[in-house]
Amino acid sequence: MTIPAQPYPLTGRSFKSLEKEYPLNDPLQKAIIDQILQSHCDTPGGLMVILNEIQSRIGFVSQPIQEYVARVLNTPVSAIHGVITFYSFFTTEPRGERILKFCMGTACYVGGTPQLVDKATQLLGVSPGQTTPDGKITVEVCRCVGACSQAPVVVVDEQMYGRIRPSKMPALIRDVLKSCEDASGG
Amino acid sequence: MPLVHSLDELVHLQKKILEDRRADISAHSIEGLGREKFAAPALRADQELDAPRGKEIRVVLRNCNLIDPESLDDYIGEEGYQALATVLSSMSPEEVIEIISKSGLRGRGGACFPTGRKWQLTRNSAGSPKYIICNADEGDPGAFMNRRVLEGDPHSVLEGMAIGAYAIGASRGFVYCRAEYPIAVRTLNLAIQQARAYGLLGENVLNSGFAFDVEVRMGAGAFVCGEETALIASIEGRRGEPRPRPPFPAVTGLWGKPTCINNVETFANVPQIIMTGADWFAGMGTEKSKGTKTFALAGDVNHTGLIEVPLGITLREIVYDVGEGIKKKKELKAIQTGGPMGGCLPASMVDLPVDYESLMAAGSIMGSGGMIVMDEDTCMVDIARFFMEFIQEESCGKCTPCRVGTHSMLEILTRICRGEGVDGDIAKLERLSKLTRTHSLCGLGQGAPNPVDSTLKHFREEYEAHIYRKECPAKVCRELIRYEIIAETCNGCTVCAKNCPIGAIAGERRKLHVIDQETCVRCGICIQTCNFGAILALTGDQTAPVMAQSQDPI
């Protein structure tokens, strides 16, 4: 990738020092990020597209990634940081292998999501927003996923489970943990 | 892949597709829809979208569940893209705008601005290039109409956009879709590729010299991006913060150029209006609100899911005919329309006609079309608090009235729900609501007080019960209720004790169970799990009826 000439001196870290940090020190991850940047750096308003892709393929947009993107796009890190913190989809830290999202839309809320969250908290020992210590499951509360006719809804990654009762939670969590093991085993 | 060059070729292709289908599969008609269908039988009614009931008329949802959304041939088989071909071959942009204006179509995203006028304004604006944007950032909790249209009939939206682009003189379009809808994004991208391959999008649409292409842009989980200026900021790759209007996007929009933003449903209506005529469309609905509207019917009705009804239908017809009544034969308490910036209408207003003006006058809005039916077990203060929490979290923080106003209102509402409400809270809420409404920058803040205002107007006595008597009449607010087990009904099955997440229920098998009120967090799991109805929720000074009896003999 060609590095554009800097119109003004950027403070902050150089490419060299950024490349020593995770995930940029991993050639595979760096290749993915570079490829995303390459294909969208000329798109008008491409920053959102780039960050969305990084989020979905790397799983998070940490400080080193933000600085790296800022260098390549020749924008201030603050502009990128501003975008990251504005939208709830971007995370700055790695999340668990599976993400358990509880829909807090109106229909789900009335349908009993709070009880489901209580049950999951009890079973996993982590509150919403946290990841289990083994890095397997992240519990999150999210906005309406638009499946209100099946309220309350739990979303595991992109798979949707509707009409979940608190009594069904243990089985659901067992399935999720099992799928984690299957994925790492295979 | 066949390239289509003109209307005649499109009609010819349609005939061929239909003949092929007839030969392939024996045509079957889907019950209740009264239309022959040639696609695979697997594409039938589902939980979200059932066969029409009551007074339903399907215009926007006409193809959903009937065609394969991933097949452009299926769409062409249903007269697809013929509206676009007609427009390109025989109409001037002014004529298109004339038809849309005559049809009376108004924006379906909530602001209900006349679509024809918006197109005219954008067309008249100086500046080039012009852009057309489809707002698919459907963020209202409880609403999923747009998702369904994008996932079930993406080409109708693309065709509507292309017609709009021709009318306003745009050559590029964007669909801004929220990140929560990955399947919709995938379906749309596929549809765009197919349309390009057929020559229905691209440099030379249908060999007419008109150039138009569409790109999908994804949001990243910010509710405020449904507001048009915030949406533009987001497409430009910035924080999705609204800016003051005017200038309106029709004058200064995306990258400072004239931009027309319409909702998914608005665009999906356009091809049908062109094909069937403005008079047909204007024949449905009321004097000022024409056509049909999709609603996502949710909550405590027997039949939840997507519906499409002519405007002017009464709430009663929606709840009792289309929704088939309240679940478990309970009483209707309120109907919430318009999403978090909408309002709650009480059961007494059930005969209100559903159109833009009537809903507005009653203190609610049409919004994008969420409709949540609530039964007697819903606490209106808690609902107001829930919506305020949503809005407070989603407020972008740019303007002070919205940022601070929603926060202050939420604080008061939370206090009231906790039983810590004090005299004067209602007056404070009313003042804050007025300030937030009149001083906020965008629709989010201006509509934020609606849930509070409408519940205060129609359910004031519930607020008073919470504040002065520390009671929650609907038995929802945890701090104001307690659960008790009725001695005579409990048979000691231990199910509640096993399911209690914090072990607050004690009791041996076949013996009376007791809830420890100190430990109980009132999560309500025990009530849901008890098969014998032996657990009661009580509020204020209420006592369990059985307890009163057992005290009598002594």
How many angstroms separate the CA of residue B26 from the nearest CA in chain A? 33
B329: CB partners within 8 A, 6+ apart: none
pLDDT digits (tens, 9 = 90+) for B100-130: 999 999 999 888 899 999 999 999 999 889 9
A120 CB neighbours in chain B (<8 A) are none
Angle ∠(B428,B429,B430) on CA atoms, nearest 5 = 90
Taking only residues 42 to 61 of chain B, the set having a beta carbon closer than 8 angstroms to any beta carbon of chain A reads 47-48
Closest Cα partner for B63 from B157, B139, B181? B157
Q: Is A46 on the interface with B (CB under 8 A)?
A: yes
* pLDDT grade for B39, boundaries at 50, 70 and 90: very low
Nearest CA in chain B to A104: B141
- Whether the CB-CB separation of A107 and A117 falls below 8 Å is answered with no
Report the pLDDT averaged over residues B434-448. 94
Closest Cα partner for B219 from B183, B159, B283, B175? B175
Q: Is B360 on the interface with A (CB under 8 A)?
A: no
Q: How many domains does chain B have?
A: 2
Taking only residues 1 to 20 of chain A, the set having a beta carbon closer than 8 angstroms to any beta carbon of chain B reads none
- Domain boundary residue, one of B282, B303, B333: B282
B151: CB partners within 8 A, 6+ apart: B69, B181, B183, B184, B187
Residue B223 resides in a domain: yes
How many angstroms separate the CA of residue A39 from the nearest CA in chain B? 15
- Domain boundary residue, one of B282, B315, B335: B282
How many angstroms separate the CA of residue B257 from the nearest CA in chain A? 14
How many angstroms separate the CA of residue B347 from the nearest CA in chain A? 18
pLDDT digits (tens, 9 = 90+) for B161-190: 999 999 999 999 999 999 888 889 999 999
> Cβ B181–A146 below 8 Å, yes or no?
yes
Residue B27 resides in a domain: yes
- pLDDT of B552 reads 44
- pLDDT of A186 reads 46
Between A88, A142, A147, which is nearest B144 by CB? Answer: A147
Strand duo B259-263 + B130-136: pairing = parallel
How far apart CA B43 and CA B66 sit, in angstroms, is 6
pLDDT digits (tens, 9 = 90+) for B461-470: 999 999 999 9
H or E stretch at B336: strand B332-337
- pLDDT of B548 reads 45
Q: Which residue has the tokens 């927003």?
A: A129
B524: CB partners within 8 A, 6+ apart: A112, A115, B483, B537
* pLDDT grade for A17, boundaries at 50, 70 and 90: confident
Over 50: is that where the pLDDT of B342 sits? yes
- Whether the CB-CB separation of B254 and B133 falls below 8 Å is answered with yes
Question: In DSSP terms, which residues pair with A100 in a beta bridge?
Answer: A139, A156
Residue B160 resides in a domain: yes
How far apart CA B264 and CA B147 sit, in angstroms, is 9
Query: How far is the CA of B517 from the CAs of A63, B431, B475, B479, B494, in angstroms?
Result: 47, 38, 16, 11, 18
C-alpha B386, offset from chain centre: 17
How far apart CA B339 and CA B111 sit, in angstroms, is 13
Over 90: is that where the pLDDT of B5 sits? no
Q: Which residue range is the domain that position B524 belongs to?
A: 487-533
How far apart CA B228 and CA B222 sit, in angstroms, is 13
Strand duo B370-375 + B481-485: pairing = unpaired
In total, chain B counts a number of residues equal to: 554
Between B48, B241, B336, which is nearest A149 by CB? Answer: B48
| Strand ordering across the sheet containing B370-375 | B305-310, B292-299, B370-375, B332-337, B343-346
Nearest CA in chain B to A163: B47
How far apart CA B456 and CA A114 sit, in angstroms, is 25
- Whether the CB-CB separation of B14 and B76 falls below 8 Å is answered with yes
- pLDDT of A91 reads 87
- pLDDT of B43 reads 41
* pLDDT grade for A9, boundaries at 50, 70 and 90: very low
Residue B178 resides in a domain: yes
Residue B148 resides in a domain: yes
Residue B374 resides in a domain: no
Between A52, A86, A166, which is nearest B525 by CB? Answer: A166
* pLDDT grade for B216, boundaries at 50, 70 and 90: very high
Q: Is A151 on the interface with B (CB under 8 A)?
A: yes
Residue B306 resides in a domain: no
Question: In DSSP terms, which residues pair with B335 in a beta bridge?
Answer: B345, B373
- Domain holding B522: CATH number? 3.30.70.20
The single-letter DSSP state of residue B45 is -
Decide: helix, strand or coil at residue A160: strand
How far apart CA B554 and CA B552 sit, in angstroms, is 6
Q: Is the peptide bond before A114 cis (omega within 30 degrees of 0)?
A: no
Decide: helix, strand or coil at residue B91: coil
Query: How far is the CA of B51 from the CAs of A146, A151, B63, B311, in angstroms?
Result: 20, 20, 12, 19
Taking only residues 70 to 109 of chain A, the set having a beta carbon closer than 8 angstroms to any beta carbon of chain B reads 79, 82-83, 86-90, 104-107, 109
A79 CB neighbours in chain B (<8 A) are 238
Q: Which residue has the tokens 């929603």?
A: B406
How far apart CA B448 and CA B395 sit, in angstroms, is 9
pLDDT digits (tens, 9 = 90+) for B282-326: 999 999 899 999 999 988 999 888 999 999 999 999 999 999 999
Per-residue tokens: B89: 């071959």
> Cβ B141–A104 below 8 Å, yes or no?
yes
How many angstroms separate the CA of residue B542 from the nearest CA in chain A? 24
Q: Is A144 on the interface with B (CB under 8 A)?
A: yes
How far apart CA A17 and CA A5 sit, in angstroms, is 19
B151 CB neighbours in chain A (<8 A) are none
* pLDDT grade for B44, boundaries at 50, 70 and 90: very low
Closest Cα partner for B183 from A137, A147, A77, A88? A147
B180 CB neighbours in chain A (<8 A) are 142-146
In single-letter form, the type of residue at position B146 comes to N
pLDDT digits (tens, 9 = 90+) for B72-93: 988 988 888 999 999 999 999 9
Decide: helix, strand or coil at residue B482: strand
- Whether the CB-CB separation of B144 and A148 falls below 8 Å is answered with yes
pLDDT digits (tens, 9 = 90+) for B411-430: 999 999 999 999 999 999 99
- Domain boundary residue, one of B236, B257, B282: B282
Closest Cα partner for B111 from B387, B451, B436, B442? B442
Closest Cα partner for B368 from B359, B376, B377? B359
B476 CB neighbours in chain A (<8 A) are none
> Cβ B239–A83 below 8 Å, yes or no?
yes
B378 CB neighbours in chain A (<8 A) are 110
Closest Cα partner for B322 from B49, B29, B12, B45? B49
Higher-pLDDT residue of A182 and B251 is: B251
Report the pLDDT averaged over residues A83-108. 87
Closest Cα partner for B533 from B541, B545, B521? B545
B298 CB neighbours in chain A (<8 A) are 106-107, 148-149, 151
> Cβ B141–A112 below 8 Å, yes or no?
no
- Domain holding B164: CATH number? 3.40.50.11540
Closest Cα partner for B443 from B200, B231, B242? B242
> Cβ A118–B523 below 8 Å, yes or no?
yes
Residue B328 resides in a domain: no
Decide: helix, strand or coil at residue B528: helix
Nearest CA in chain B to A153: B142
How far apart CA B531 and CA B224 sit, in angstroms, is 43
Strand duo B170-177 + B130-136: pairing = parallel
Q: What are phi and psi of A102, to 5 degrees?
A: -105, 125
Query: How far is the CA of B16 from the CAs of A82, B12, B23, in angstroms?
Result: 54, 6, 11
How far apart CA B213 and CA B469 sit, in angstroms, is 62
Decide: helix, strand or coil at residue B377: coil
Q: HSE on the CB side for A121, CA within 13 Å?
A: 16
- pLDDT of B504 reads 85
Q: Is B177 on the interface with A (CB under 8 A)?
A: no
Over 50: is that where the pLDDT of B29 sits? no
Between B139, B220, B372, which is nearest A52 by CB? Answer: B220
Report the pLDDT averaged over residues B353-365. 91
* pLDDT grade for A10, boundaries at 50, 70 and 90: low
